[in-house]
Amino acid sequence: MNYLGDWGFQFGLLGAGFQRFGSQEKLKENPLQHLFDVYVQVHREAEGEECIHQAARDFFRALEQGEEEPLSLWRHFREITVAEYQRVYNRLGVRFDEYSGESFHQDQVLDVLEQLRTRGLLKSTEKGTSVVDLSPAQDMSYYSTVLRSDGTSLYITRDLAAAVSRKEQHAFDEMIYVTDKSQAGHFRQVFEILRAMGYRWAQSCRHVPFGLVQGMKTRKGEVVFLVDVLDEARSKMLRNMRESTTTKHLEDPEDTAEKVGIAALIVQDFKGPLESDYKFDWDRVLQSPHGLENTALENLDAAFIGQVKMMCQLCPLPLFRYDEVLWQISQDLQPRYLVNFLMILRLQLFSSAHTVLASGMRILGITPVQKM
């Protein structure tokens, strides 16, 4: 399931911004880029103009009240956005059974609030907001806001409604949320509130956080869209292939560059712990993950070479560990174990071939050379 953040105050800003700065023509040409440009512009303008903040609040309130004009604009934004997402996901070979979103659960928010009220969990503050006290001593030292003072819902309220709905519809054994690590606190509160509401299945909810990619740039600038990264990876890989003296003639070099470029991006993203931030480096990314056999062993980290050689002595090829690695990543949800396994396997194959070739050459009276 791809759960989209398709509701909330940010859509009030976007809606109010599009009414001021939007262009239907630009929206057709490049939907995501234009919506992003509008959002950046309205966010910048809102810093100095309270009237824009008020317009955004009014737009979102109208959305929640079901008024047709803002709803029609919102539907249009959502439809073209999902279509663009699907186009990019198709390039990655990613398929979703369902495209859901916060908007799907807006009608269920009232049920959640009523449950919280019935259980005595909902409290009002002096500011007029509604909160759930999560502090052990019930002294409001740690709480979660679930309703704004103007009566509009928040992200966490819709997430609570979505969780209850998914359990009813799908009867899941385990529900895994995959988001960036900045939302760890948010999901901790979601799970705590669900448990306080009496949902024992909240123990089966799990958050898998991922880190940030630092220093990523494309030719278009600092703010990076995934489609631009994929395009640039393909372009750079195609150039590398054309400049290489060892690349064979290919019937469809663009398709090969696309596949190898995406493979390189995936390996770069998955080779470390998911929660760790990492610095993006095009030069490292664009070394083909299955073309590194041409790199001499002496250029690799000495400690890593020692580890590989030791493993080669203990077990020539660790193929039997494949099932074990798959089981491990199913438990820890860390793809790096599989990436590292494949990397070591590749190096062991290279090392074994290197040893056999050298031995056979010596038998024939040929002196192997390490470099050319």
Sequence spans of domains, the chain: 1-97, 102-210, 220-289, 291-372
What's the rounded Cα separation, in Å, for the pair 323 and 89? 28
Residue among 83, 316, 238 at smallest CA distance from 75:
83
Beta-strand pair 278-279/130-133: unpaired
Phi/psi of residue 262, nearest 5 degrees: -65, -40
Q: What is the per-residue pLDDT for 306?
A: 58
The per-residue pLDDT of the chain, averaged, comes to 86
Bridge partners (DSSP) of residue 210 are 180
What's the rounded Cα separation, in Å, for the pair 182 and 187? 10
Cβ-contact 134, 142 below 8 angstroms: yes
SS3 30: coil
The structure's pTM equals 0.80
Phi/psi of residue 178, nearest 5 degrees: -115, 110
Mean pLDDT of 216-241: 79
Tokens 């077990």: give the residue: 315
Residue among 203, 221, 224 at smallest CA distance from 213:
224
The model's confidence at residue 221, banded by pLDDT at 50, 70 and 90, is: very low
Q: What is the per-residue pLDDT for 315?
A: 53
What's the rounded Cα separation, in Å, for the pair 60 and 23? 20
Cβ-contact 19, 45 below 8 angstroms: no
Q: Please, which residues have CB within 8 angstroms of residue 186's CB and are 6 or more apart in sequence?
A: 155, 156, 159
Higher-pLDDT residue of 151, 216: 151
Higher-pLDDT residue of 364, 53: 53
The model's confidence at residue 205, banded by pLDDT at 50, 70 and 90, is: very high
Cβ-contact 8, 102 below 8 angstroms: yes
Mind listing the pLDDT tens digit for each residue in 268-306? Answer: 889 889 999 988 877 777 664 444 443 444 444 555 555
